[in-house]
Every structure is written in structure tokens, then in C-alpha cells.
């Protein structure tokens, strides 16, 4: 069954989103071929924006389009993915927003009605509110909350949330602002397959993704060329049907999401929802994108500062711990183990030095059990630091009676002749994960994977493992190891 699921998830990853050949109805588009410099494709809904039928437009040389804002061509860079904007352009009796994108094949022009945006002055003020003052000491959460409430000041959305990815691309809602009476997603996790890799990739190529309607069918192109237009950089690109269904199951008619990139990697997204269809103006979207970009920079500076502080504090801790071992008597070694326990939130610790074992009090293990664990761990020579959240997963320890101890970390010193090593133990800890709906996929009549129907909180309890060994723990253990080697070889 798992293998079958894997194949279906793989199929999801193969959907060629950029070749949908259709646009959403909130805007119209036409394509200027890079070689002929003629319009070779136009969306069938274009007339509702510029009163020009696609049939009339296709075949026209770009030079003849005297109504086209020139900035769309002159301000456009030469690389695929470059964009130019012409906002609030009077056009007949209307005001329109124009956008151009360059692709490998030519230039795509997209046109939408202009509705509302934020004045430049107001925008700058909003932007400054996501930056703490000198006196303010914001934690991660303060940054997230501030971003969300600032966006809430100017985006007409019922829900605005911050979704942070985990290592394996599942994610969690870490900040949220939502109107009264609507369900809350804060603290809930969503499985990785909700945003397949192919959809995540789009966030590196586009500053945002706007889906005006999860239900309205898209418009076709009148296209002279045989191959489908490349819509990689288009804001109007039609919605994947499976995602349209997902939004409807979630009660979302309009969604607007903006990526947050940190050190070159997708870190999270801001996701904005409306339960009824609503138009978010192109200039407003652009302003929101710029604000989130600015946030990404501010936040990455904050994280660098935090990391420096962490390194310093770990160095201080390491110094204090190793000092104990330098005293070289049995009591000092016990004190050393107690410090290790405290700094790793562990339930026990043991160290082997100069051919002798020392075990912390109440470690939950006796010496014979410890030797068994040691034998199993010593047979794995893959690294100097090893760790597990469930000792029963280690070969040779499946049957170990380990009611009290579940997580183990081994730090090997291998200094000179005596092979010193330090073990750190953690007890099993119930860990509760709150999911937005049971994270299982359904298979529909066509044998395709379909989004789950309910997003109601579904809690999973895992009492089998210890708390995870975090990046901080690993960093700490590396520093401790280096310091212990220096001390022991002295």
C-alpha cells in the first residue's frame, strides 16, 4: 500500500504546472514572440480588459501596439524571469495594471484592472514596523507576529498566516491573524505533500502566487504556435485542479502566498485566505511581496545575531563543564556528569576514561546494561558523534529493557591510547503533533491522489521516543568534544 502511495505522490510531482496553457480569469495576457516580435498568442478573455479581441491582436507586430505602456519593454531586463510593471495606467474609461515577464521564448504581457493600493508614504511606514527599535528585543515569534499584523494592515484578507517548513518539508503554522468565528490553524502541522516539490520550486521563480478563485474555470489561449506557452513566470497561470479542490475543501475561495527565503532556501510562506472570491490588486500584491522580501533580510540578520550569541554561550558552558573533569577525582567526575545532564536536558550520563566507567546517579542503567549499549554503539564506526531517539532501533539492542532510557548520544574522544567516550541518555517523552486533518491521502475514482476533506485538528501522540537531538545539541556536543580532547590530552 505504501509503495502505491509513493507512486501517486510521485505522479503529483510530475504535473507540468507551467504548461497548463490557460490563465485565471482575473487578468488577460498576450505573448510577444522574441524572434518575430509579433503577438503570437492571446488569452480568450483579453477583450474584457482592453476591448480588443484576441483574433485581432494575434499577428500584430509589437510596433503597432501604440497603446502599450513603453516601460513594459524598456524597463524589462534581458534574463528569463525579469519583470517590469506599469501600474495605474488610464486606458479608455478604465485604470489598468500591466506587467511584463521575459521568458526564454519572448515576452508575456499581463493585464488586470487596478483597484486599490497603498500610498508610498503609508507603505514606508508599514515597512518600518517590522523592524525592532534599538530598545526592543524581539524573539523569533515577535518578528513573525509583527510581519503578520503589518500585512493585515493593508491586505484585504480574512486570514493571514505564517507557515514554516520543517526539515522534510512538512510545515507548521507559527503565526496567524484571522477574523472572529473562523477556525484557527496556529500550531497545526501540514504534511509535505500538500505543497509538492514542483509547487515549492515555483516560489524560487516567482515572488508570489495568487489564486483569485478556486472554482472559476480558466481561459484558453488563441495560440499560433503548436507548443503550449511557457507560463513559468506568469502571475495568471491557471490553478492545478488538485490544488483547486484542496482550497475548496479548506473553504478557501481566494489565496495569495508569498515565499520567505533564508540563505537561499525556502524557509516558509505567508499564506492569505478569503472564503469568498476577492480581487487583490496587482500593485498591492507587489507591495506585499516587497515587504516580505524586506522581512526576509531583517529576519536573517536577526538569526545571524542569535547564532553568534548561541555560539558564545555554548563556549562558556563547555568551559565550565570541562573544568570539572580537569580536577580528576571521583567527585569532580560525578559533578561533570551532572552538568552534562543539565545542559543536555538528559536523564543520565556515563563516561569512560582511563579504562574506568563513571555513571551518573539515577541514570536508569546499571553497569552491565551500559556495557551492552557500549558494545553495540562501538560497533558503529561511521562517526565520532552518534545519536538516536530510540535505542531499540539499534542493531543488537532491540530487546533491551529500556523503560527509563530511550534517546542516546555517544561522543567519542579517541584521544591517544585510551579510548575515552561520553554517553548521554534521555528518557521517553510523549510528543504530541497536532495536524490540520488526519495526514492521510485519499484516492479518488480516477485512481489519483486527492486532498483530504477535513482540516480539523487531529492529534497524534508518540510516546516511543526521546526528545529529538536538535541542531543546538549537536553543535554543543561537537564543541564539548573538542574541549574534552584538549583537557584529556593535556
User: Binding of ligand BLA at residue 258 (CB under 6 A)?
Assistant: no
CB proximity list for 36: less than 8 A, separation 6 or greater: none
- The nearer residue to ligand BLA, 202 or 310, going by C-beta atoms, is 202
Considering only the stretches 88-96, 187-195, 337-345, 480-488, report the one whose residues sit in contact with ligand BLA under the rule CB under 6 A. 187-195
Task: List the one residue out of 197, 173, 153, 48 whose CA is nearest residue 111.
Answer: 48
- The nearer residue to ligand BLA, 220 or 343, going by C-beta atoms, is 220
Q: What are the helix (H) ranges across 76-173? A: 120-128, 140-154
Query: How many CB atoms are located within 10 Å of the residue 393 CB?
Result: 12
User: Binding of ligand BLA at residue 291 (CB under 6 A)?
Assistant: no
Q: What gap in Å lies between CA 37 and CA 68, rounded to an integer?
A: 14
Q: What gap in Å lies between CA 85 and CA 334, rounded to an integer?
A: 68
- The nearer residue to ligand BLA, 5 or 60, going by C-beta atoms, is 5
Q: Which helix (H) or strand (E) holds 189?
A: strand 189-190
Q: What gap in Å lies between CA 176 and CA 173, rounded to an integer?
A: 7
User: Binding of ligand BLA at residue 206 (CB under 6 A)?
Assistant: no
Considering only the stretches 96-104, 236-244, 321-329, 338-346, report the one whose residues sit in contact with ligand BLA under the rule CB under 6 A. 236-244
User: Binding of ligand BLA at residue 257 (CB under 6 A)?
Assistant: yes
- Is 451 in contact with 246 (CB distance < 8 Å)? yes
User: Binding of ligand BLA at residue 189 (CB under 6 A)?
Assistant: no
User: 221, 246, 377, 435: which one contacts ligand BLA (CB under 6 A)?
Assistant: 246
- The nearer residue to ligand BLA, 16 or 124, going by C-beta atoms, is 16
Shortest distance (Å) from residue 221 CB to ligand BLA: 17
E strand segments, 34-170: 39-43, 83-91, 94-102, 106-113, 159-165
3-class SS at 103?
A: coil
- The nearer residue to ligand BLA, 7 or 345, going by C-beta atoms, is 7
User: Binding of ligand BLA at residue 177 (CB under 6 A)?
Assistant: no
User: Binding of ligand BLA at residue 163 (CB under 6 A)?
Assistant: yes
Q: What gap in Å lies between CA 316 and CA 206, rounded to an integer?
A: 44
3-class SS at 140?
A: helix
Task: List the one residue out of 41, 84, 32 whose CA is nearest residue 224.
Answer: 41
HEC profile of 53-64: CHHHHCCCEHHH
- The nearer residue to ligand BLA, 407 or 451, going by C-beta atoms, is 451
User: 100, 117, 193, 363: which one contacts ligand BLA (CB under 6 A)?
Assistant: 193
Take residue 375 and report the three cell numbers written for it: 558494545
User: Binding of ligand BLA at residue 266 (CB under 6 A)?
Assistant: no
Considering only the stretches 241-249, 285-293, 299-307, 425-433, report the one whose residues sit in contact with ligand BLA under the rule CB under 6 A. 241-249
User: 32, 107, 195, 405: which one contacts ligand BLA (CB under 6 A)?
Assistant: 195
Work out whether strand 431-436 and strand 457-462 pair parallel, antiparallel, or are unpaired: antiparallel
3-class SS at 130?
A: coil
User: 164, 317, 441, 457: which one contacts ligand BLA (CB under 6 A)?
Assistant: 441
**Size of the chain, expressed as the number of residues it contains:** 490
Shortest distance (Å) from residue 151 CB to ligand BLA: 14
Q: Which helix (H) or strand (E) holds 330?
A: helix 330-343
User: Binding of ligand BLA at residue 428 (CB under 6 A)?
Assistant: no
Considering only the stretches 10-18, 54-62, 133-141, 399-407, report the one whose residues sit in contact with ligand BLA under the rule CB under 6 A. 10-18
DSSP conformation letters of 252-293: -SEEEEEEEEETTEEEEEEEEEESS-----HHHHHHHHHHHH
Task: List the one residue out of 167, 244, 262, 229 whose CA is nearest residue 199.
Answer: 244
Task: List the one residue out of 153, 143, 179 whose CA is nearest residue 284.
Answer: 153
Number of residues near ligand BLA (by CB under 6 A): 27
Residues 442-471: x/- map of binding to ligand BLA (CB under 6 A)? -------x-x--------------------
Take residue 16 and report the three cell numbers written for it: 507540468
User: Binding of ligand BLA at residue 234 (CB under 6 A)?
Assistant: no
Considering only the stretches 12-20, 46-54, 109-117, 382-390, report the one whose residues sit in contact with ligand BLA under the rule CB under 6 A. 12-20
User: 22, 189, 209, 387: which one contacts ligand BLA (CB under 6 A)?
Assistant: 209
Task: List the one residue out of 25, 18, 277, 303 whose CA is nearest residue 139.
Answer: 303
- The nearer residue to ligand BLA, 258 or 350, going by C-beta atoms, is 258
User: Binding of ligand BLA at residue 199 (CB under 6 A)?
Assistant: yes
Residues 116-135: x/- map of binding to ligand BLA (CB under 6 A)? --------------------
Considering only the stretches 42-50, 239-247, 346-354, 422-430, report the one whose residues sit in contact with ligand BLA under the rule CB under 6 A. 239-247
User: 5, 17, 19, 60: which one contacts ligand BLA (CB under 6 A)?
Assistant: 17
For 185-216, give one letter per residue: b (16+ CB within 10 A) or e: beebbbbbbbbbeebeebbeebbbbbbbbbeb
Considering only the stretches 108-116, 235-243, 325-333, 362-370, report the one whose residues sit in contact with ligand BLA under the rule CB under 6 A. 235-243
Shortest distance (Å) from residue 218 CB to ligand BLA: 10
Which residues form the interface with ligand BLA (CB under 6 A)?
12, 15, 17, 161, 163, 173, 185, 190, 193-196, 199, 209, 211, 239-240, 242-243, 246, 255, 257, 269, 271, 441, 449, 451
Amino acid at each position: 500500500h505504501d509503495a502505491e502511495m509513493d507512486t501517486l505522490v510521485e505522479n503529483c510531482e510530475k504535473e507540468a504546472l507551467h504548461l497548463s496553457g490557460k490563465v485565471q480569469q482575473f487578468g488577460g495576457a498576450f505573448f510577444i514572440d522574441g524572434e518575430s516580435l509579433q503577438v503570437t498568442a492571446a488569452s480568450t478573455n483579453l477583450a474584457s480588459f482592453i476591448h480588443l479581441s484576441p483574433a485581432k491582436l494575434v499577428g500584430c507586430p509589437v510596433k503597432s501596439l501604440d497603446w502599450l505602456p513603453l516601460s513594459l519593454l524598456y524597463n524589462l531586463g534581458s534574463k528569463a524571469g525579469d519583470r517590469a510593471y506599469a501600474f495605474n495606467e488610464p486606458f479608455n474609461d478604465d485604470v489598468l495594471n500591466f506587467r511584463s515577464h521575459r521568458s526564454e521564448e519572448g515576452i508575456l504581457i499581463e493585464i488586470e484592472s487596478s483597484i486599490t493600493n497603498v500610498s508610498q508614504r503609508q507603505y514606508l511606514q508599514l515597512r518600518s514596523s517590522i523592524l525592532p527599535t534599538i530598545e526592543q528585543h524581539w524573539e523569533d515569534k515577535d518578528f513573525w507576529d509583527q510581519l503578520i499584523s503589518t500585512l493585515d494592515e493593508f491586505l484585504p484578507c480574512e486570514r493571514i498566516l505564517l507557515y514554516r517548513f520543517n526539515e522534510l518539508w512538512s510545515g507548521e503554522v507559527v503565526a496567524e491573524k484571522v477574523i472572529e468565528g473562523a477556525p484557527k490553524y496556529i500550531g497545526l502541522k501540514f504534511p509535505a505533500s500538500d505543497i509538492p516539490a514542483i509547487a515549492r520550486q515555483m516560489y524560487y521563480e516567482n515572488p508570489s502566487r495568487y489564486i483569485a478563485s478556486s472554482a472559476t474555470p480558466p481561459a484558453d489561449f488563441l495560440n499560433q504556435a503548436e507548443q503550449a506557452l511557457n507560463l513559468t513566470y506568469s502571475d495568471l497561470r491557471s490553478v492545478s485542479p488538485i490544488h483547486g479542490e484542496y482550497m475548496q475543501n479548506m473553504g478557501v475561495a481566494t489565496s495569495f502566498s508569498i515565499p520567505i527565503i533564508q540563505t537561499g532556501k525556502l524557509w516558509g510562506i505567508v499564506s492569505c485566505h478569503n472564503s469568498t472570491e476577492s480581487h487583490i490588486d496587482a500593485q498591492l500584491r507587489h507591495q506585499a511581496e516587497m515587504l516580505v522580501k524586506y522581512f526576509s533580510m531583517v529576519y536573517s540578520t536577526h538569526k545571524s545575531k542569535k547564532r553568534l550569541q548561541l555560539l558564545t554561550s555554548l563556549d562558556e558552558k563547555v568551559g565550565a563543564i570541562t573544568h570539572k573533569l580537569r580536577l580528576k577525582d571521583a567527585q569532580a567526575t560525578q559533578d561533570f556528569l551532572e552538568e552534562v545532564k543539565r545542559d543536555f536536558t538528559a536523564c543520565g550520563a556515563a563516561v569512560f576514561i582511563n579504562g574506568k566507567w563513571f555513571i551518573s546517579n539515577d541514570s536508569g542503567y546499571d553497569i552491565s546494561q551500559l556495557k551492552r549499549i557500549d558494545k553495540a554503539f562501538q560497533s558503529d564506526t561511521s562517526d565520532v558523534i552518534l545519536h538516536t531517539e530510540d535505542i531499540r532501533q539499534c542493531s543488537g539492542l532491540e530487546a533491551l529493557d529500556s523503560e527509563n532510557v530511550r534517546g542516546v548520544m555517544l561522543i567519542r574522544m579517541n584521544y591517544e591510547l585510551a579510548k575515552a567516550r561520553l554517553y548521554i541518555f534521555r528518557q521517553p517523552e510523549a510528543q504530541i503533533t497536532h495536524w490540520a486533518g488526519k495526514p492521510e491521502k485519499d484516492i479518488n475514482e480516477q485512481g489519483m491522489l486527492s486532498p483530504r476533506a477535513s482540516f480539523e485538528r487531529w492529534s497524534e501522540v508518540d510516546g516511543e521516543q526521546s526528545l529529538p537531538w536538535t541542531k543546538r545539541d549537536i553543535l554543543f556536543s561537537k564543541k564539548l568534544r573538542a574541549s574534552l580532547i584538549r583537557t584529556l590530552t593535556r
